[in-house]
Amino acid sequence: MWTSARILAAAIACLTLAAAETASAEAWPTRAIRIVVSTPPGGITDAFARAYGDYISQKLGQPVIVENKTGASGALAAQLVKDSSPDGYTLMYTISSTLLGNRLLLKSLAYDPDKDFTIVAMTPSGHLPLVVHSAANAKTLEEFVAYARRNKVTAGSYGIGSFAHIAIAELNRQFGLDISIVHYRGEAPMWQDFAAGVIQAAVGSYQAALPVLDTGVGRPIAVPTPVRMKKLPETRTFVEQGVTGNVFQLTSFTALVAPAATPADRIDLLAKLMVEGGKTERVQKLLEAFGVDSPAMDRASSVALYAKEGPVWLESIKTLGLEPQ
């Protein structure tokens, strides 16, 4: 009996220890979380990662470290995160082209956007208005189309396969125009050339376009999505001006994603904190500065948006006839 009692006590002790170890293993997070950003410091994606990351850190009681990993249109960051342990400690904040456009623009992709990642939260990156140089004297899309039919027009795009590229190509197609598209490495040089009169039109973010908007050199004449932009309430949407193609109703977004096998409870918690973080003063000020109308979306809405608009993005890029690089 004494031996049986000792065995029973030892067994109970082992079970208690195992339960404690299991609970400890399931506790999350117990160390720093890393957010890998696929764009350089200073832009909206990086700013979002840091602002939302700080809120997540405060709520979870662990540091959130933001690491910028640029190159190959986001593919380097994607591969790094794909190859990391799916435990919720390594996440990626990226732009739409990493998840969508790269499938068509890169010959070799070391990750599968749909199989290798799961969406935590979409963060809309704001309207991308079509801005026309004051020399064109166009106040509406109709007036700009008429101007482009009479004159040689060059428009700026902040990247091959970007929304700017798609939008201008779609205008050419819908109205039978011959607008030349110049691709820049980002928005800063594009708006500099716009201010100098090198290009007559451009599509880009409100915040980056502010220098030409504030001086009156540029005039916004149309914004995508069916709802007007809060910062430009007088500027009608493409839809309001009779251009109802799916391209002009797309939502430009950045996104927080995790490796696909990350536990669902951790994904759900992070998604919840993203929505909460979007209501904080810091994030609201950031949205105001960048001219973005909406904070982080809840997970169900994020997944639904990606499923609905992803195919439209891909089909729009296909129509550009680009050769994968």
Tens-digit pLDDT profile for residues 259-275 = 999 999 999 999 999 99
User: Where does the pLDDT of residue 244 fall: very low under 50, low under 70, confident under 90, or very high at 90 and above?
Assistant: confident
Domain ranges of the chain: 33-125+252-320, 130-249
pTM equals 0.86
- Rounded distance between C-alpha atoms, residue 136 and residue 153, angstroms: 9
Percentages helix, strand, coil for the chain (3-state, rounded to 5) are 50, 15, 35
- Rounded distance between C-alpha atoms, residue 62 and residue 193, angstroms: 44
State pLDDT tens for residues 112-141: 999 999 999 999 999 999 999 999 999 999
pLDDT at 8: 40
- Rounded distance between C-alpha atoms, residue 30 and residue 235, angstroms: 49
At position 166, the amino acid (one-letter code) is I
User: Where does the pLDDT of residue 186 fall: very low under 50, low under 70, confident under 90, or very high at 90 and above?
Assistant: confident
User: Where does the pLDDT of residue 35 fall: very low under 50, low under 70, confident under 90, or very high at 90 and above?
Assistant: very high
User: Where does the pLDDT of residue 185 fall: very low under 50, low under 70, confident under 90, or very high at 90 and above?
Assistant: confident
For the structural domain made of 130-249, what CATH number should be given?
A: 3.40.190.10
Max intra-chain CA distance, the chain: 103
The reply to whether 33-125+252-320 and 130-249 are identical in fold is yes
Asked if residue 10 has pLDDT above 90, the reply is no
Q: How far is CA 313 from the centre of its chain?
A: 13
pLDDT at 26: 67
Would you say the C-alpha torsion 320, 321, 324, 325 has a positive or negative sign? negative
Neighbours of 68 (CB within 10 A): 18
State pLDDT tens for residues 165-182: 999 999 999 999 999 999
Mean of the per-residue pLDDT values for the chain?
91
* Range of weakest confidence among 29-38, 171-180, 182-191: 182-191
State pLDDT tens for residues 192-236: 999 999 999 999 999 999 999 999 999 999 999 889 999 999 999
User: Where does the pLDDT of residue 91 fall: very low under 50, low under 70, confident under 90, or very high at 90 and above?
Assistant: very high
State pLDDT tens for residues 67-76: 999 988 899 9
Average pLDDT of 176-190? 93
- Give 71: exposed, middle or buried? Use CB within 10 Å, 0-12, 13-18, 19+: exposed
For 18, 207, 232, 247, 282, the CA distances from 171, given in Å and listed in that order, are 65, 23, 21, 10, 37
Asked if residue 18 has pLDDT above 60, the reply is no
Top-confidence residue, 272 or 16: 272
Q: Of the CATH numbers 3.40.190.150, 3.20.20.20, 3.40.50.620, 2.60.40.420, which one belongs to the domain with range 33-125+252-320?
A: 3.40.190.150
Neighbours of 163 (CB within 10 A): 25
Asked if residue 1 has pLDDT above 70, the reply is no
